[in-house]
Amino acid sequence: MKAVRVTLVAHPLTASQRDGAFPPADEPAEVVSFSAPAGATRVVRGPEARCDLVPGAEVVPELRDLDVGSWAGMRLADVDPAELAQWVGDPEAAPHGGESVNELLVRVRGWLGRLDGGAVLALTHPAVVRAAVSVATGANYRRVDVPPLGRASFTGAGGRWNLRLQ
């Protein structure tokens, strides 16, 4: 089993995030200058345009954003409070008709488990970075905050991960 070093970077701020809304799938991020750090042997990204920060990065479907179904594009303040409470309180819940938090965690756990060595840079979404931190450390997904361009780095092999602060 080869050791892996993976750094996940959340995409830049979007207009929806600025407005307190769930971004629609095709929303671009604000333009920023970004370059892959030296030493990355593989650069991958989520399929959405807002993750396209490094030309030529490989699109990885598992790095897509959390599917919030009918809530995409909605402001958090406009979501039915009972549905929001259900979603926040139950990681199995998906009242929006999209993906539950547990489904996201399973998807990210699977992707991390298939990494086969080297240094990987993954350009993705705050929800995916949160999920990776949760999977790698056992932290509660709801207790992890990831800002735009926030990073989390891990080293490990065989499902054992160490969080590396930078």
* Residues 11-15: contacts with CB under 8 Å, at least 24 apart: 11/46, 11/48, 11/50, 11/51, 11/53, 11/123, 11/124, 11/125, 11/126, 11/148, 11/149, 12/50, 12/53, 12/148, 12/149, 13/148, 14/50, 14/148
| Domain assignment present for 164 | no
* Domain CATH number, residue 30: 3.40.50.1240
Counted domains in the chain: 1
pLDDT per residue, tens digit, the chain (166 aa), is 688 999 999 999 999 999 999 999 889 999 888 877 778 889 999 999 999 999 999 999 999 999 999 999 999 999 999 999 999 999 999 999 999 999 999 999 999 999 988 999 999 999 999 999 999 999 999 999 999 999 999 999 777 899 987 6
Q: Indicate the pTM of the whole model.
A: 0.94
| Domain assignment present for 165 | no
| Domain assignment present for 166 | no
| Domain assignment present for 163 | no
| Domain assignment present for 44 | yes
Q: Which domain holds residue 29?
A: 4-158
